[in-house]
Structures are given as structure tokens and as C-alpha cells.
Amino acid sequence: MRDFDSNRIYEILGEEFKNIYIVDCKTQQIHAFKETDVLPGFSAHMLYNDAMNQYIDHCVYEKNRDMLRIALSFNSLYTRLENAEHFNIHYQSKTDSEIHFMYTHFGCIKDHDKITQIVIGFANEDLDIRRNNLDMINNVITPSGLRRKILIVEDNDLNREMLKATLEDEYDVLEAVNGEDGLQILSQNYKDISIVLLDVVMPVCDGFEFLTRQKSDSLLASVPVIVTTGNNSQEDELKCLGLGAVDFITKPYNTRIVMSRIDSVIKLRESSMTLAAIEKDELTGLYTRQAFYHHARTLTNFMTDEIFNIVVLDVADFKLINGTYGTKKGNEVLIYLANAFKYYIKNGLLTRYEGDQLLALFHSKEKIDVDRIENNLNKIMEEAPIPNIRVKLGIYENVDTSLQIPIMCDRALMAVKSISKDFKQNIAFFTQEMNQKLLAQRQMENDFKDAIKNREFVVYFQPKYDASSEQIVGAEALVRWQKEDGTLISPGLFIPLFESDGLVVQLDEYVFETVCRFQKDRMKQGLPILPISVNLSRASIHFSDVVQRYINIIKENEIPFSCVPIELTESAALYSQQILEITNQMVNAGFKLHMDDFGSGYSSLTTLNELKFTTVKLDKSLIDYIAKPRGMKIVRQTIDLGHGLDMKVVAEGVETKEQRDCLIEMN
């Protein structure tokens, strides 16, 4: 396992745990992050299940062992963390004839919504609750200065009164006599409730149903639940854990333990609170995404006879707006669009979904009038605070309300994404073909890591010929994806996808490493070395330490920098101060820079003048017109320009003898 993300680990656990371990989910191997005390039977470099079973045998009080073995097996733990990103397990430990109350906290680190690491912290509950009075005061007051609220859901009057008497000196207590009433109170007060104490056995709606219904709502699910139980049933406790409960308190109640566990859960929750708990976006006044999900589900469940539509509004080139006019003007644009959105969409919910994207769920018995929407959209663009703004709409019409709200939204987002580069079309509707394309893209993203590991990406070398001698003078590295079953995936499918989601950074480095190893092997065999150029994508250029990483790879393979030139596409190399600094670092290290696809897009003379390219490669689109008089003049002038700047000129996509002869004549 590589370096740990210390900040993320402490964000999950806090810094009070003496022993912290990380489990690599792929290998299930344990790694020590912080090991102050020796835990009997539990040590680094063991497999998780082996270590946990030994720890349970050595340290856990006998009556707790069976429950913990089931609850803390790797598969149970992984499944639990998929539903709740962190939780506590409390148990008793017996050492030297003394019984201690212990707890272990579990959290997870994810990569693209997949759990990659499990974080485990061990603590002694008796020591953890020794807080000074000031700490106690701080822990019962919310950040806003108000006392925290606790909801007790308990049908037994005596038990409910006992809990209330224990808590009311430090918390404001809300009460419910069954799960149905509890859900109603939680739904109305979820923003103010810090924790729920939930009995399992109740009439009308028991604890299991309460947890199930709470879990289905993203905002209600953000409120932690401690289950109060009197039967010590391992099966019930495991079921509650699977439904999202974070802890247990057994009856009869021990005041010290009750206060300790409530305080621990609240402190943990508030240390990791995010914007998901905020109802309204500060800039636009629209709902935040998580609040929108909550209210959208309520709306679609309540208004079952209505036809719902989702529309997403996306501002084209919003980063360019911020860069040109400044962030203040960019914010003004977003506020204007939010107000316009509210004006035109009457019967629905609106959210600032992400950055410059606004989204609305609305109901209507009438079919969407595209002409009217287009007229309204044109008016919005004409009256915007800045000129020439381009706004696009993606629409998911007559939504399938059985789908989860995020999936409904994704369909509108797919529609707007389909026209993101279309300058003529501003409105698009979701189709099933888009959905199939998205599923295929998600599958490629999910397969990427294994494809890198299994070397499914095959690197080919496209030769470069000297036009006069017709001798091979170098090559360009091209990558193809051949899956283990022999299926070939076109680079036209996976390259644009990986460029948009950032995975291309890893792919670029993979290709670069492959070429370096190839050159190293040729050197070892005493074979001639020809330069093989490798493409560096725009995403890789902006990656923080790309230059140093590539330098390290060159040095590890002990090859000259000149044998692996770096190709930058014309669009990726578009001149800026940042690009100038990065390319200068490369040249100073010893790399040769080639400009790829010249003539396909921006053709910036400033870029050619300022950046230290040694070779310019003409795009195939120029070569295709070489037989026409005007096309021939453009190619000739471009070649002369390259030579005048002391650069070699390479022509891409030469397919006919006539094209070759023209290029030879142009030198």
C-alpha cells in the first residue's frame, strides 16, 4: 500500500485513538498507521479476518465474542460501510480480572464511490469519557450556540422517562411513542436533531421499519441512530447495523455509558459534517443537491398522479467567463440565471446542482412546448449580465419516478452533455440510447484499474519516415485497448472518456513507462535507438507533479531524454503562463517537445513562438487538401514557417503517392 492520506484518516477518526490500522480492501492486508500500544493478536501485515479473530480471542469478553465474529468479518464490515461510511462497535474486554468497556470505530476511504481502504481505531471507553467540564459544555452546545436536540423513539413510558431524565439537563429532548410518529418528527426537525435513540420493539412502526424508511431518504439518513435494546439479540443488532444504526445501548440504562456513547457519536458526526447538511445554496438561494434529493423524493411520493419532468441548465464555458470577467461577475451570472429559472419554472423544486449547473424537477399535465422553451431560453441569454453567453438545457421528460432521484437527474445531465460541443443546438432530450452509452462508459471506467494492472492497454509504434530516403527515423506511440476476452475497444470511445474524467493521466504515464522500458531493452541488446514520441494530454499537463514523475521514470530506466520526445496537441499547448512554465521545465530537464495536430484547431502562432518545440506535426486535415491549389499553398507556407523557426516538420496521415510527392517537393 502506498502512502496514507493522513488528513483523511484523522478526519474520519479524530486524533484521540492510540491504535489506528488501515485495511487494503483488495488484499485484505492490515497496515499500521498509528500503533501506540500492542493489541494482543492484532498486528500489521496480517490478513484482516485472521487478525480480528485473534484479537477477539485474546481481548474480548467471552459473551461478546460470537456477535463480534459475525459483525466484524471482512464481508460484513465491507457491506456495512457501503451503507454507512463510519460506525462504532462497543464491547467488553477482560484483562487482569478487570472488565473494561471498549469500542472500535470503523470508517472507509473511497475512490470513485468504491471502498479502497478501511480505517480502524481502537479505544478504551472508560478513558475516553474523562472530559473536563469545559469540554462537556462545548459538546452539548451546537456551533450556532443552541442546545442540541435528541429524539427519543420509545413506546414504554417508564423507559422513555428514564432516558429523558438522564438527558434533559444537557439536551433538548423530543419524544415519540412509535416509529411512525418518530419519522414524522424527524422529517420536520432533521436539521436540528443531533441524534435519535430508537427502541426496536414498538407498535405501528417498529425500529427496523424506522431504519429502513430513514435510510431511503438522504437527509434523514444523515442523522445518526443509536438503538436501545433489552433482549441482547445478536441477530437484531446485526440487522440494525445493516440498516444504518451506528451504535447500541442495552437496557437497563447505565447513565455513564449512555452519555458517553451519545457524546461520542455527536462529536464524530459534527467533525465530519459537510455541505450535505445545508438546506440552501448561499449564492443562489436554491436548494443544495442533498436537500433537493430529500424534497424531490417527498414530492414524487406524494403527487403520484402527476407527470414530472427534469430540466438541467448548463452554462457553456463558464470557466472562461470567470477567467475573462472575474469571479464576482461569474457569481452575478449564476444569480441571474437562478432567478430566471425560478421565474419560468413555477411548479417544482430547483437546485444548484453543481457549479454552473442548475436543475429543476417540475410537474405538468401538458407536453413540453419546445418552441416556447427555446424562446424563453433565447430571452434569458439576451438579457444576461454579460454578452454572448451560451446556455444549454437538457430535459428528461415524463420521468420514471420509480428510479432513485440521482438517476433521474443523471438522465437530464446526459441530455445536456450530448450537445455541450454543439454550437447550433441548445436543447436536448434524454433518449434510451444515451442511457446505453452512459452504462458502457461506466463499465469502461470500472474496468480501467484492472486493465492497467493486467496490461490490457497495448502500445503500438507508428513509424515516421524520412520523405527523401524513405528510412524509418522514429515512431509515435499509440495505445489500443484489448480486453482479456479479445474484445477491442476503439480509442475513439475510451480516450475522450478518460480525458473528461481524468483517468487519462494514469493512461499517459502507463504509455510513457511502456515506451521507456522498450527503449531500455533495446539499449541492453545493443540495438539502435530511434526516438519514440509519447502524447501528453491536456489533463496530464495540468497534473501537479507530472514533470518530476516523468523525469523519475527516465532516470529509473537509465535512458536519454531525447529518445522519448513529448507530444502536445495543438489545443493542449495553447499558450498560457502555466503551459510556458511546464514546457520550460520539460525542456530544461532534457525532453524534446513536439507539437501534434498543428492546423486542426487553434493554430496559435504565439504558441509556436513562445514554447520551445523542436518538431511540428501537420494534422491530417491539412494533408487531405494538399492536392488543391489553396490547400497546397497553406501546407507550403506552414512547412516554411516550421523550417524558419528551426523546427523539423512531420506530416501526419500521408496516404497517396501524390501527397508524398508534393511533400518531398516542399522539402
- Taking every pair of Cα atoms in the chain, the longest distance, rounded to a whole number of angstroms, is 100
| Element housing 315 (H / E) | strand 308-315
362 SS3 class: strand
The C-alpha atoms of residue 639 and residue 389 are separated, in whole angstroms, by 38
User: Cα Rg for the chain, rounded, in angstroms?
Assistant: 31
Report pLDDT for 559.
96
Contact 315, 356 (CB under 8 A): yes
The residue type at 229: T
The C-alpha atoms of residue 179 and residue 243 are separated, in whole angstroms, by 15
Backbone angles phi, psi at 327, to 5 degrees: -65, -35
Residue listed under C-alpha cell 472500535: 104
Residues in CB range of 297: below 8 A, 6 or more apart? 216, 217, 405
615 to each of 538, 583, 593, how far by Cα in Å? 18, 14, 7
Report pLDDT for 128.
43
The C-alpha atoms of residue 591 and residue 576 are separated, in whole angstroms, by 20
Closest by Cα among 149, 155, 213, 154 to 183? 213
Contact 210, 239 (CB under 8 A): no
Of the chain, the end-to-end C-alpha distance in Å amounts to: 54
Report pLDDT for 278.
53
Model confidence, pTM: 0.51
- Side-chain-side CA neighbours of residue 290 (13 Å): 16
The C-alpha atoms of residue 1 and residue 28 are separated, in whole angstroms, by 11
DSSP 138: H
Report pLDDT for 98.
61
DSSP 612: -
Backbone angles phi, psi at 391, to 5 degrees: -120, 135
Report pLDDT for 218.
65
441 to each of 83, 411, 414, how far by Cα in Å? 25, 14, 12
Report pLDDT for 453.
93
- Residues linked to residue 91 through DSSP beta bridges, in sequence order: 102
- Residues linked to residue 477 through DSSP beta bridges, in sequence order: 461
Residues in the chain predicted with pLDDT less than 70, given as ranges, are: 1-3, 14-16, 63-64, 67, 83-84, 90, 94-101, 125-146, 218, 231-234, 268-278, 544, 570-576, 600-606
Q: Classify strands 613-618 and 648-651 as parallel, antiparallel or unpaired.
A: parallel
Domains of the chain plus CATH, in order, are: 6-124 (3.30.450.20), 133-273 (3.40.50.2300), 289-430 (3.30.70.270), 441-665 (3.20.20.450)
Buried b vs exposed e over 139-168: b needs ≥16 C-beta within 10 Å?
A: bbeeeeeeebbbbbbbbbeebbebbbebbe
Taking each helix axis from N to C end, the angle separating 48-59 and 62-71, rounded to the nearest 10 degrees, works out to 160
Q: What is the pLDDT of residues 595-652, one digit of tens each?
A: 887 776 555 566 777 778 888 888 887 888 787 888 788 888 888 888 888 888 888 8
